[in-house]
Each structure stands twice: as C-alpha cells, then as structure tokens.
Amino acid sequence: MSSPAEETERPMPRMSVGNLLRDYGLLAFLLLNVIVISILSPAFLKPENLLNILTQAAPLGMVVLGQAFCLLVRGLDLSVASVMATSAVLATSFAATDNAMMPVIFAAAIALGIAVGTVNGFLVAKRGVSPFLATLATTIVLQGIRFLYTEGSSGSTLPEGFAVIGQGRFLGLPVNLLILVALTLVLGYVLHFSRFGRQVYLVGGNPRGAMLVGIRSNAVIISCYVICAVVAAIAGLCLVGYVGQVDQWTGKGYELDSIVAAVMGGIAINGGRGNVFGALLGVFILVVMFNAVILLGLPVQVQMILKGIIVIAASALYITDGNRRVA
Amino acid sequence: MTPTQSTPASTAVTRWFRRIPLSLIVVVALLLLLTVTGTVLSDRFATSRNFLNVFQQAASLGVVSLGQTLVVLTGGIDLSVGAMISLTSNLTSGLIDGNPDRVLPVVIGVVALGAAIGCMNGLLTHYLRIHPLIVTLGMASILQGVTLLYSLAPLGKVPQEFQVLAYGRFLGVSIGGLAMIGLFVLAAIFLHFTRTGNAIYAVGGDPRGAHLMGISVARTLAIAYGLSGALAAITGIYLVSRMGTGDPWRGEGFELASITPVVVGGTILAGGRGGVLGTLLGVYLISLLNNLLNFLDVSTFYQWIIQGLIIITAVAINVERGRRA
Amino acid sequence: MRMACPRAPGDAQFPCNAANFMTSAIVSVTGMSKSFPGVRSLDRVDLEVARGEVRALVGENGAGKSTLIKIIAGAYRPDDGELAFDGRSTRWSSPHEAARAGVHVIYQELILFPDMTVAQNIFVNDQPRNRFCLIDKADMRRRATAILEELGSPIDPDEKVRNLTVASQQLVEIARALKSNAKLIIFDEPTAVLGGHEVDILFAMIARLKARGVAVIFISHRLEEVFAIADSATVLKDGKLVGTLPVKELTQSKLVSMMIGRPLADMFPPKATSEPQGAPVLAANDIWSGPKVKGISLALHKGEIVGLAGMVGSGRTEIAHALFGSAPLERGSVTQGGTAATSPDPCQSIARGIGFLTENRKEEGLFMLQDIAVNISAPILGRIGSALFLNRTAERMLARQQIAQYAIAATGPNAAVVNLSGGNQQKVLLGRWVNTSNTALILDEPTRGVDVGAKMEIYRIIRELANRGLGILVISSELPEIIGLCDRVIVIAEGRKTGELTGRDLTEERVMELAVATGGAGLPNGVAA
C-alpha cells in the first residue's frame, strides 16, 4: 500500500528544533514576560498583585482544564460560557442570602453540567455532528432557556458564601485559586495517571484504533464533554462570587479564550496531544499579559492587540500538523 | 452509472434536477413554510413592502456570509469578520468625515485593506500551520484593538449621497439588496467557472490531493481569506452608509452570525462541498425569520432559541457519513 | 511511434519488442541505485520498457519496486544511474515535470475529490478555458466524454465521484492521465482495492491503453495478473534486478522462486502433525456482514494455523472484523472461546483472549503520537494497574520484553513509534497482540513491511504460539507465505468460501483456482502452471 507522499521503510526525522521550541519555548516565553514586566513595573511582583492575578485567572483556568479534555478527543466545547452563565443564574434563583442553600446550588450546577455535557457528547459521538456546531447549538439553546427564565433581567439574590468563594481567603490564599488547584490536581491526575486518562489520549490520537483495542470510544468522548461542562458550571459559580453579581453575559468570551489558551499551551486541535500544565501555562501567559498592560498604564486596546499577536505566535510554536483539522 | 449519449434537452434538465442537493431543497422548503406561517400569523408580514424591507436589511448579513462561505469551502473559518466590520466602519466614516471627494479613494482603500488583512490570515494559517480558528481569532483581537486605538467612540460622518447605497432604490427595490445579489452572482461564477474557484473546492475537499495535483494551496487560501476580508470590509462600508456614521463595535456578533446562513445553506464545515446559493437562501431565511418574530413581538431572547433550533435542524439533515457537518 | 502489432490481453508479443528494442523504448533505466538511511533500496537496476508494452513489476515487500517507480515518475532522485524517457536522457526535477513529459502514476491511494464530478476530477488542475478566461464546461464535458468512451466506460462525466465504485474511480484517474497524453502509466498495486469483476474491467482498460500505444508498468503481488495481462515481467529482490522475462517464458513457480530467491521449504517452520482437537476457539457460524461477507462458516482450533486466502478485496479482512466484533453482524453468530455471540464487540473479544492485528498499521493499528510502551499495552489497560492508577513501570517492563523478543530497533520503551521504520512498527503491533491473546489470534498481513529475515522470525513465533495452544488465523496476500505457514487454508472469493485445502492439496495452483472460482480474472488458456 503506498501513497504518493509516503516513503515506506523510512523513519521520519524528528524535528529537533521544533521539539525544543515546543517543550520549553512557552515556559521561557512566560518567564521572559515576567522578568521584563517586573523590571518595567516593580509593582508586578508584589504578593498582593500576584494573588490578584491568580484569583482573576482562576475561573478561566478551570474552564481551560475542562476544554482540554474536549480538545484531546478531537472536539471542542463552545458552550462553556453559556454553561457558566446558566450556572450563575442558578445561583441567584434560590432567592436566598444565607449559606444553607449553597450545597444545593453546587449540586444543581453539577447536574446542569452533566446534562449539557451529555447532550454535547451524544451529538458529537453518536450523531457525528461537528463539535463546533453541536456546542454552538447548545450555547444558543441554553441562552434561550436562560433568557426565558429570567425574562432578560439580571438576577439579584446571592448567598453570601459566594462572595467568600470569589473574593475570600483561606489560609491566606484566595479560595478561587484553591479550587483551581484542587481541580488541577484531580483532573491532572485523572488525565495522566488513570486508565480513563490514557483512553482519552488514545481515542483522540486514533479513534478507530482505539475502538480496535477494545476501548469504548463513545463513552470516553461523552465523558470528556461532561467533565468540561461540569467544570464550567463550577467555574461559573466561582466567577459569580468574584464579580459579585450575575448578568446574562457572565462568562462571555470564555469559550474562545479557553480554546486559545489551551492551544497556546500545546493542546492540539487535532487531539491526542498535550497536557494540563501546558493548558494552564497558556492561561497564565494571557493573564500575566493583561495584568502587565494594566500596570504599565497601557490602554485596553493595546491589550487586545498584544493578545492577538501572542495567540498567533504561541500557537505557531507548535509547528506540526496537529492543528490542521477543521472545526 | 448512466449512459452518456447526446441527450435531448429534457433529459438534461431532469438530470440537472436530480443533482440538486438535499440541503437546498430543505432551505427552500423552510422558506416556504416560514412565508406561509408568517402570512397566517401576521397581516403585516406578507406585504410586498415588508418583503422589500427584508430584502434591503438582509444585505449586510448577506455580504459577510458570502465571504464566510468562501473560507468555509476551503475547510476553514473566519472569525475575524466581526472585528473587520468594526474597523472598516469606523475607519471609513472617520476618513471621509463628510467630504464627498474622499468617498471613492477611501472606499477603495478600505476594501483593499480588508483584502490584504484577509490574505494575511490565509497565509498565516498555511505557512505557520495554525488552525484558522486560532489565527482568525487572534487577528480579530488585533483588529478590534486597532479599531479602538483609532477611536473609542463613533467617529466622523458620511455625506448624504453616500447613504444612497443603503437607502436608494431602483425600480422600488433596494440598491443595497441588488448589489448583494450581484456579488453573489459574481461569486458563483468565480467558484464554478474559474480555476481558482475550482481550486477552493479542491483544497477544501482534500488539501493533500490538491497539492499533489499541482494546485497552490497557499495561493488558494490567500485568495479565499482575502475575499472574505474584502467582503467584510464592504459590509462595514455598507453599514456606515446605513447609519450615517461609523461605530467601533459595529461588527460585534457578526462572526458567528455569518456562519449560520452558511451552515443552514448546506455548506459543510469540513469544506469541499456546498455553495453560495445555499448561503443566499440561508440569509433570507434568517432575515425573514427575525422579521416575523419581530412582528409577533417575540423578544430577541426567544429568537435565539429558534435560531439554535434551525442550526440543529440544518445540521441534522446535512450530517452524512464521511464528512462532518 | 505507433506499434505495428496489435495485441490481445495476455498475448505476449516478445518478438515485436525485440525487433524494435532500441528505438521503441519509452523508458530506459540503467544502473539505477538509491539508498535511504540504513537501507539500500535499489542496487544497480536496469529496466527497459517498450512503447505499448505492459510490464509487470514483481517482488516481495521491500524489494524496491515502489522506489523504482517513484524514480521513474520523478518523485525520488536516484543516487546513481541513468534514466531516459522517450529517447532523451533526463533527471526529473519534480513529479510535475515528469507528468508533463508523459509519465503518470496511479497510486493505490487515489487522488480524487469525492464531491466534485468526474469531469472536474479529470481536469482538476487544468480546466479548459474559453476566450473570457472562464472555464468552458461544455468543452470539459465533451473532452471527458471522449476520453471515457475511448476507455470503453459508460460513466457519466457529471456524476459525483463519491457515488462511483472504486473501480470506476480508478478509471477516472486513468482518464486524467490520458487527457495529458500519457506515454507511460504506472500502476501501483491497482488490484489491491478491486473485487474480482472489477479487475476484469481494469485489465480491459489496460488492453486499450496498449492499443493506444501507451506503455504500462504495474506493480502487483498477485501472480495471476502477471499472466493475465502482462507482456513481460521484471523481478526485483532486495533492491537488485533478478531478471526480466517475457511472460511466455515464465511459469508461476519459476516466478515465485525468482521472487523469493530460495526454495519455499526453508522459510517456514514445520507444520502441525496432528489433527486439530476439541471445540473451536474461534468460529463463524454462517455469518453475513456488510456487502463483502456472505454466509461464511469456519472454525479455528487450538494449536492450528489456518490461512484465509483469496484475492484482495475478496472479503477476508471483513471476515476478520466480523469475527473480532469490529464490524456488525447482520446474520449468524460468532463463537469465541466456546461462547456464542450474535453481536460481539472488540472489548469482549479481547476479554476472551482474542487478538486482531489489523492490516492497516498507520490508520488502524498504531497510536502514532505515543511511544512503544503505550502502543503495546493499549488493549490490556485493564491488566496494568487499576482504574485509578496505571502502572507505567509494569508497562515499560512489558515493552522491554517485547523489544528484546522481536529485536525491535528502538532506543527503548519510550521511543516514539512515529520514528520507527515500517518493519519495526509492525513488530510493535505483533508484540502487542501476541501479548494480549491467549485464545486465538487473527493476523491480517502480519509480515507487511517486514524484511525477509524478520519474516522468518515471525513465522517461527507464530508456530510457537500455535504449539502453545492458540488458534491462529492468518490473512495474507503472499501465496508462498500462506501456503508455507498454514496447516490448512480456506479460500475466499467474493465474500464466499470456495474451498478448504490442506496437506498435499495445498498448492499455489489450487489456491489460485479457488480464489478466482466465481468469475474473477482467470488464468488465460494455455499458460503452464
């Protein structure tokens, strides 16, 4: 069996420059940024500032973790922003300000995540719908349901506990951040050490091959979308706590930002490649850059331009065919 | 496999008829269904005045979706069109600033700018091997930043005559709407009767195969994205003509809005299959739907749900084994 | 220069060639050599093909056939040697230059655009234009129709390629080559994707090409084709030219021995001497699956090696998928290790100790983004640690064992499989499945891409596994392999079982007869077997 481009019997040479760039380039880039910024603005390295950055970044970091799972199985999830907003709306809909309802709210959010994730995963795995369109459709439907429910107005009552989650500290560290760390540890462990995690990589790398070695690919794919949606729901609750209020656009932009951060961090859109730390690295680069822009007194427009350039440049580091598949 | 003898005209027609893709039939059916439903539900709907209005209003969505169609046919996606519209809208009105002599040069310049930026998108995605989703997203951010740098608020104005583009009528029909149809016709000719147009389909169908057949994938992508950029620029200019002034946020939401008619019209995201006729019908479907929902006093929020349902329906029908919709 | 002697398929006109030998050669290769890192693919090969001649290029895997045709087509540059095309000495700078001069290759992986029409595919990079520089569709359709008619095909040029059969799709590629006035068309294993009847169509096509004066070189593993359509055959072995002979002077066994260079007996370990006993470890009970499996029943017992022979496209791989559960069963049932199943799935099969080494290692077998250890453990993730903790140390140890056992040339268990040569990749897969299965093993083209020395090793391992009690089902397109290795051979033709051979009965001729039994390309009359 031959193809015009294939050269049988010849091993492909490893692109060593590409590998070096890939493995260390991003980290170096981040460190370089940090160094340059601290020189230009010493305020950057102050613990308060750093903790602030991390607290702000925490919800996006969580969403990126979930998005990574979808990307790894050759999918993506555009509905995360909508899930976040719906989850936030849920938080206000129990008309309670005391914290007794909080466990219920969390449970409801997780249930929401499971429901949405299952629908997404089902459409993609069992009906062969492009992930782009399936999750876009879910986004719109969720939006509609949300608007229906709130009749367009913002919610109001939020249990105080959320403020604690969003802005409070526990043992000196922001609660948001601690939740992110916990999620990272759990999801990172699952992805790199558990059997399911291995299956995720195999299904993403070669879906047919995975089926032929006895992996139940559909279940794996659906699980990834569920994880993504559940994490997004939790992130929505954390974001609500940080912002202090809920509106229809909570989480806006998170879907594209999370994909961009993950790809910058080395998770290929084609699936089967990348790890959670790279993904978080992508988030940190974005967030550090935002913070730097503020500290340096640069206007938000510059931030946008810089973000665009960094996104393209960082993604270019991964010069492989891993990113060629269509949405 | 049917025999190829010289066929009389009637069998040629039936053969052509059998080749119409299912997706087009579905869109037309939905359009008819919508028209009938609308006529029944609202007496203001089925008037020629209303249809002419919709025809005019569809122009902006139509032109930008046309560009998006070209890109999607190559198997890619252009998420920078929204920011491009914002940029060109504010830039146009700001540079013209009421001066009629400046209209032509500015319009030409802005469209050229759109084309150039679009080309860059195509080349970046090919040579850097980055997914078009990421490239155009990054570019959108850059463009929006540049737009805001230029001006944070709506800027400048355009002379009265310029607004003829949006409001002028020819034999009672909107010039803008006619121009949009003209662009669609040109695009169809381009896709089916030029080598580059055919190359767009080839690259979308099998980029590796296209390359092996001697087609320059880089050039094809540059042209497809370049046209998308230029058409987005034209949309921005058109919107200026409608509003009388620019707006640095004018294009917000257009990137995703421009994909709906493409997908509904039967062009699949994987590329290689579909066409501009489907998009045109999809544009009218969406515009007519919004129009009807407005008449029925359905809040914009519910319109979202219905749009989502339309996407789902269109996708459900277009899903086929082998190529993902 | 048109050939003066018209030919019919299979009617080798060697005297015609000899008389015009010098002046009517379309391509002439002298002393051609090419090396890749670690392997000398071609070693001073000479080849000459006359205009309008049909030459078969045969040899084992790795003999250098693919390399040779790629040099002729301009896809590779030779290290040494001369290439002359159409009377002129050349060094192609690119395949496009060669194509413009008249050399076209039709690879097994067809370059077609399924959503475009036949006419569009034929003219995909070269559409005729009118004076406005727009594509002249009427002219395109006319020209396409003309070429298709010349090839004797009723295909509608406005039909979308997606809707055509594979044989018709291949024809579209041939039409594309013809439209540019090809002088030499090279086919790389064209019948690999064709069913019996479609092969006839292809051969008729080749006969027409010959009548038009177009020379044809085709690579094939299928000896019957050499005798059916070729005028002459060139045999390569280990990169060297063994010989070029007119088909009239060849017999199947002579061809085979030229190809493998040694008597069949030496390659294979001794077969099982006792009759298979006990209940079958893997059996098919009148199974129907998809368009290619029609009512197959077979049984595999402990300790035996059973071969599935047949032409490529006869349905053997599909039978394997049905047995393993990776293709749905419409009718019938499969028995695995004593348990009957009407809808088996790979997960269950593996749990019951059945393994399946698939034909297509890059697309279906390997996880190219991963290393050797991950690839080897893939089917048995359940046995390496628990759900909560994958024991990577155990995994690496397992990989090391396999690397040692199969002499896989790699830096270690964490070497990326993408960097291994084809043969070593195949060994990784073999290691994976041998390790997984203790009931039955299905091997689809197990020695594809493996060099001759390693093949012997693999045969030995397969026999050892059988002696240890596994039942092994081998699918192979290499006749000598399947006859030498297997205790008995079931022959499949067009989805049906046409016979079962064992012992003295198991000869290449008998296998061939049964493989073409339902009307595929038959052996022409009068050819000595």
Tell me what pLDDT residue B4 has: 41
The CATH number, out of the four listed (3.40.50.300, 1.20.1250.20, 3.30.750.24, 3.40.47.10), of the domain defined by the range C14-102+181-259: 3.40.50.300
- What ipTM does the predicted assembly reach? 0.84
> Across-strand partners of C49?
C27
The residue that leads in pLDDT, A167 or B40, is B40
> Which among C130, C211, C136, C154 is positioned nearest to C178, based on CA atoms?
C211
CA distance A190 to A170: 26
Across the interface, of C96, C135, C168, the residue whose CB is closest to B195 is C135
Q: How many domains does chain A have?
A: 1
- Tokens, residue C25: 């050669």
Q: Average pLDDT over chain C, rounded to whole?
A: 83
CA distance C83 to C74: 10
A15/B contact by beta carbon, under 8 A: no
Token pair 């069913």 is found at: C195
Tell me what pLDDT residue A96 has: 66
Q: Average pLDDT over chain B, rounded to whole?
A: 86
- Tokens, residue B8: 């009389």
Which residue from B minimizes the CA distance to C147? B4
CA distance B101 to B236: 19
Question: DSSP secondary-structure letter at A321?
Answer: G
Q: What is the CATH number of the domain that holds A243?
A: 1.10.3470
Topology of domain C262-353+437-520, CATH: Rossmann fold (3.40.50)
Whether A90 maps to a domain, the answer reads yes
Under the banding of pLDDT at 50, 70 and 90, the label for residue C527 is: very low
Give the H/E segment covering residue A113. helix A102-125
How would DSSP label each residue in C291-353?
GGEEEEEEEE-TT-EEEEE--TTSSHHHHHHHHHTSS--SEEEEEETTEEESS--HHHHHHTT
Q: Outline which parts of chain C fall under CATH 3.40.50.300.
A: 14-102+181-259, 262-353+437-520
* The pLDDT of residue C192 is above 70: no
Q: Which of A6, A7, A9, A187 to mutate to test the interface with C (most CBs of C within 10 A)?
A: A9
- Which of A66-70, A100-104, B89-93, B313-317 shows the lowest mean pLDDT across its residues? B313-317
- For C524, phi and psi rounded to 5 degrees? -65, 155
A68-72, A277-281, B251-255, C403-407, range with greatest mean pLDDT: A68-72
Whether A324 maps to a domain, the answer reads no
CA distance A189 to B202: 43
C451/B contact by beta carbon, under 8 A: no
Q: Are C154 and C114 in contact (CB under 8 A)?
A: no
How would DSSP label each residue in A11-63?
PPPP-HHHHHHHHHHHHHHHHHHHHHHHHH-GGGGSHHHHHHHHHHHHHHHHH
**Average pLDDT of the segment spanning C386-395:** 90
Q: Tell me how long chain A is.
A: 327
Across the interface, of B3, B189, B193, the residue whose CB is closest to C154 is B3
Judged by CB atoms closer than 8 Å, whether chains meet at B209 and C149 is answered as: no
Which residue from A minimizes the CA distance to B73? A326
Q: C381 to chain A, minimum CA–CA distance in Å?
A: 7
Judged by CB atoms closer than 8 Å, whether chains meet at B15 and C113 is answered as: no
Q: Would you give per-residue pLDDT tens digits along chain A (327 residues)?
A: 334 333 333 333 344 455 555 667 778 878 887 888 888 878 888 888 888 888 888 999 999 999 999 999 999 999 999 999 999 888 877 766 667 778 888 899 999 999 999 999 999 998 888 898 889 889 888 888 887 777 755 556 667 777 777 677 777 778 888 899 999 999 999 999 999 999 999 999 999 999 999 999 999 999 999 999 999 999 998 888 777 777 767 788 888 889 988 888 888 877 788 888 888 888 888 888 888 877 888 888 888 898 899 888 888 876 554 444 333
Q: Are B290 and B126 in contact (CB under 8 A)?
A: no
Number of other residues whose CB lies within 10 A of the CB of residue C451: 17
pTM: 0.81
Q: Are A139 and A255 in contact (CB under 8 A)?
A: yes
DSSP H helices, B151-272, are 164-167, 175-193, 195-205, 207-212, 217-243, 254-257, 259-264
Q: A71 to chain B, minimum CA–CA distance in Å?
A: 13
Identify all chain B residues contacting C134, using CB atoms and an 8 Å cutoff.
Answer: 189, 193-194
Give the H/E segment covering residue C454. helix C452-467
Q: Tell me how long chain C is.
A: 529
A186, amino acid identity: V
Judged by CB atoms closer than 8 Å, whether chains meet at C369 and A272 is answered as: yes
Mark which residues 204-243 of A lie under 8 Å from C by CB: 205-206, 208-216
Domain that holds residue A95: 48-314
